[in-house]
Amino acid sequence: MSLGPVVICKPYSKAYHDAFKSRGFDPQFVQVLDTRFVNEHGLRSVMQAGPEGKWSGVIVTSSRAAEAWISVAKSLLDDAAESHTTVRHR
């Protein structure tokens, strides 16, 4: 029985893949950093979609990956606040 997909914020790793698979998860790897943030668009898409029963969890494996998550989360919140303000002032 699958516990569902789980996002792992790091490049593909067979060790992580096998560890999560053996525990019933379907690991999905999203590379979010290099020496700079990469694939912020992909991370933003995942976060905008929300869990909606699709994700069982998120694995953040480094402080830089956590920074990428926080950066995208703040951007989404800023966009939502701007959208709310724009709609309210019409």
pLDDT of 12-24, one tens digit each? 999 999 999 999 9
Q: What is the mean pLDDT of the chain?
A: 86
Neighbours of 39 (CB within 10 A): 16
State percent of the chain over pLDDT 70: 88
Q: For residue 87, what pLDDT is reported?
A: 53
pLDDT of 41-63, one tens digit each? 989 988 888 887 688 888 898 88
| Helix or strand (DSSP H, E) at 42 | helix 40-49
pLDDT at 88 over 70: no
* Nearest alpha-carbon partner for 9 in 27, 23, 26: 27
29's CB contacts (< 8 A; 6+ apart) are 8, 10, 11, 12, 13, 16, 17
pTM for the whole thing? 0.58
Structural Rg of the chain based on CA atoms: 15
